[in-house]
Structure 1
Amino acid sequence: MEAIDIQPWLFRVEPLEGESLSHFLGRFRRANKLTPNGLGKMAGLGGAIARWEKFRFNPPASGQQLEALAVVVAVAGDRLQGMLPPPGVGMKLEPIRLGGACYAQSPCHRIEWQLKRMQGWDRHQLRLLSECPNCGARFKVPALWVDGWCQRCFLGFGEMVKYQKYL
């Protein structure tokens, strides 16, 4: 009997405008029932996926790594590059921040929210949240945002806009 090399097929997931790489990777993995290590093995990236989901970009993702990921997720490498923080711009790893008004319009984590220079979101003139305004729980990394609500009290991210303060 001859062994057949069966290639896995994957569901396509389209990135959302402004979406962070962490959030996109989590959505892609869930749609395809993959772990961070499983996706890393498929792309030949080892543990890089798990690091990137936690905004750990030291060392930074190389063009070669992004192209390898692009082949697996069927998204152009330059589009993946746009999900990363701009070169030379400081980024906050923690706490994870959220703009409730923006999330209500487009349910995804935006990479801009994690930039050190961002205290608020200019588009809505509101301060970013770093914890649930209802129960005080810190937000999990965006790759783990499955249902769009606080993991402790279940307040929806879009509903948190009423707790955000103006800039």
Structure 2
Amino acid sequence: MEIGAEEPRVFEVEPLDGESLSHFLGRFRRENYLTSSQLGKLTGLGAVVSRWEKFYFNPFPTRQELEALASVVRVNADRLADTLLPKGVTMKPRPIRLCAACYAEVPCHRIEWQYKDKMKCDRHNLRLLTKCTNCETPFPIPADWVQGECPYCFLPFATMAKRQKHG
């Protein structure tokens, strides 16, 4: 038997409907005890993984890059493509936006919140938040959303819905 011939054991994580790539990568990394740079090495993509977590998609991920990521995270490349922007849609990587009412229903960051022209949640008719409603700290990148709360005052994202204004 060859030493090191086995494939590394991976805890599989499925992307949620509408979830952003940044949020998915953060969940996958935490489940598998990986840093961004370690995942970059495993995929052969290097620092590109870290750029994607920050919503820097210029140049846009190629099919080959998605296939490389898919082989490590064990998710179909087409499913990973769903975590990105649709063709013809532009996005704003900052500020990170959130609909706390949506987050209360399904705790994940949705890619549509970062669309350039998206200022409100169509589902709840609420303006998207760009900072904590308690301490006004801007939201970190979704890959870093470990507990679903403000990293400074620890207010849960789901409870911020009470202070969201109607769109």
Fold agreement, TM-score > 0.5: yes
Q: Distance in 1 between matches of 2:150 and 2:57?
A: 26
Aligned-partner SS, 2:15? coil
Q: Distance in 2 between matches of 1:93 and 1:22?
A: 11
Q: Distance in 2 between matches of 1:77 and 1:7?
A: 19
How far apart are 1:3 and its partner, in Å? 6.5
Q: Distance in 1 between matches of 2:8 and 2:69?
A: 15
What residue in structure 2 maps to residue 143 of structure 1? 143
What residue in structure 2 maps to residue 69 of structure 1? 69
Q: Distance in 1 between matches of 2:2 and 2:125?
A: 60
Give runs of aligned pairs for residues 100-111 of structure 1, distance below 5 A: 100-111=100-111
Q: Distance in 2 between matches of 1:3 and 1:62?
A: 34
Deviations 1:93-133 (A, max 9, x none): 11000000000000000000000110000100100000001
What residue in structure 1 maps to residue 115 of structure 2? 115
| Pairwise CA RMSD | 1.1
Count of aligned pairs between the two proteins? 166
**Contiguous gaps of at least 5 residues in structure 1:** none
Aligned-partner SS, 2:7? coil
Give runs of aligned pairs for residues 33-112 of structure 1, distance below 5 A: 33-112=33-112
How far apart are 1:155 and its partner, in Å? 0.7
Identity over the aligned pairs, expressed in percent?
58
Q: Distance in 1 between matches of 2:35 and 2:152?
A: 23
What residue in structure 1 maps to residue 10 of structure 2? 10
**Contiguous gaps of at least 5 residues in structure 2:** none
> Which amino acid is the alignment partner of residue 67 of structure 2?
E
What residue in structure 2 maps to residue 154 of structure 1? 154
How far apart are 1:44 and its partner, in Å? 1.1
Q: Deviating runs (4+, > 6 A) in structure 1?
A: none
How far apart are 1:87 and its partner, in Å? 2.3
TM-score normalised over the length of structure 2:
0.96
What residue in structure 2 maps to residue 130 of structure 1? 130
How far apart are 1:88 and its partner, in Å? 2.6
Q: Distance in 1 between matches of 2:36 and 2:135?
A: 29
> Which amino acid is the alignment partner of residue 27 of structure 2?
R
TM-score normalised over the length of structure 1:
0.96
Aligned-partner SS, 1:88? coil
Deviations 1:77-101 (A, max 9, x none): 0110010112231211110000000
Deviations 1:16-36 (A, max 9, x none): 111000000000000001111
